[in-house]
């Protein structure tokens, strides 16, 4: 897909290992932001951004309220907040009820991003052990977004990507090794 304006990556159990393998292989001149929603324990905020920043030359930072969304930046959603994308291409952090037992919820961010970016959005769902992200992918598909899922056979925990494949028309099923190359084609 050419003309990507945002890539949102969601994952849970097993997805951090994928990101650690993918980030070093990403082009540094990406013309879009990467927004990462990972289920994790409260209080581990800066540790994840710090860890991932050692794996790439791209700027990696934790999302801040009302921050402008910029290309060539990897944004990490803070633990214990839902992330919403506003029409003016800024972030909002939300502390409402958990969705699919999760805050941040992948569904919430996929849905919010789809409403703003529509056909210029790419969503990628990685390894995980619940169905968070599946409803968000369905919404994103309805807005014309490109839908990608990690190949369940390469996922540490295959439940989340397998549920997505069973529930929504997926454009690309990507092995862990193929994810970075695919992202680089979005430029």
- pLDDT tens, 88-138? 999 999 999 999 889 999 999 999 999 999 999 999 999 999 999 999 999
Does residue 39 have an active-site annotation?
Answer: yes
pLDDT bucket at 3, cuts 50 / 70 / 90: confident
Among 28-32, 38-42, 172-176, 178-182, the least confident range: 38-42
Task: Examine the pLDDT at 185 and tell me if it is beyond 70.
Answer: yes
Residues in the chain: 187
Which has more pLDDT, 91 or 3?
Answer: 91
Residue 148: which of 174, 127, 168, 129 has the closest Cα? 174
Sign of CA pseudo-dihedral 2, 163, 35, 154: negative
pLDDT band at 21 (very low <50, low <70, confident <90, very high): very high
At residue 163 the predicted structure's pLDDT band, cuts being 50, 70 and 90, is very high
User: Which residues 6+ apart lie within 8 Å of 178 measured at CB?
Assistant: none
- Catalytic-residue membership of 129: no
pLDDT score for 138: 98
Assigned superfamily of 6-185:
Methylesterase CheB, C-terminal domain (3.40.50.180)
Q: What integer pLDDT is reported at residue 2 of this predicted model?
A: 67
Q: What is the pLDDT of residue 28?
A: 94
The active-site residue out of 12, 15, 79, 127 is 12
Range of weakest confidence among 32-36, 39-43, 110-114, 152-156:
39-43
Which of 95, 106, 155 lies closest to 133 in space, CA to CA?
A: 106
Q: Is the dihedral of CA 173, 176, 33, 184 positive or negative?
A: negative
- The tens digit of pLDDT for each residue in 38-93 reads 998 776 556 888 899 999 999 999 999 999 999 999 999 998 999 999 999 999 99
**Residue 102 DSSP label:** B
Please identify which of the residues 79, 102, 132, 151 carries the catalytic annotation: 132
Question: Is 12 an active-site residue?
Answer: yes
Q: What's the pLDDT at 45?
A: 55
Share of the chain above pLDDT 90, in %: 89
Q: Where are the domains of the chain?
A: 6-185
Given a cut of 70, whether residue 145 has pLDDT beyond it is yes
- Catalytic choice (39, 102, 105, 151): 39
């Amino acid at each position: 897909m050419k003309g990507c304006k945002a890539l949102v990556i969601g994952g849970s159990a097993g997805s951090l290992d994928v990101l650690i393998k993918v980030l070093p292989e990403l082009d540094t001149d990406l013309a879009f932001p990467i927004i990462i929603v990972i289920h994790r324990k409260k209080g581990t905020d800066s540790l994840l951004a710090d860890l991932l920043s050692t794996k790439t030359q791209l700027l990696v930072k934790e999302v801040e309220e009302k921050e402008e969304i910029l290309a060539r930046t990897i944004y990490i959603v803070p633990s214990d907040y839902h992330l919403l994308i506003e029409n003016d291409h800024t972030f909002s952090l939300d502390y409402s009820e958990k969705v699919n037992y999760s805050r941040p919820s992948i569904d919430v961010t996929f849905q919010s991003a789809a409403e703003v970016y529509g056909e210029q959005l790419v969503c990628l769902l990685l390894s995980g052990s619940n169905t968070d992200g599946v409803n968000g992918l369905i919404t994103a598909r309805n807005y014309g977004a490109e839908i990608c899922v990690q190949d369940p056979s390469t996922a540490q925990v295959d439940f989340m990507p397998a549920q997505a494949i069973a529930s929504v028309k997926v454009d690309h099923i990507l092995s862990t090794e193929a994810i970075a190359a695919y992202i680089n084609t979005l430029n």
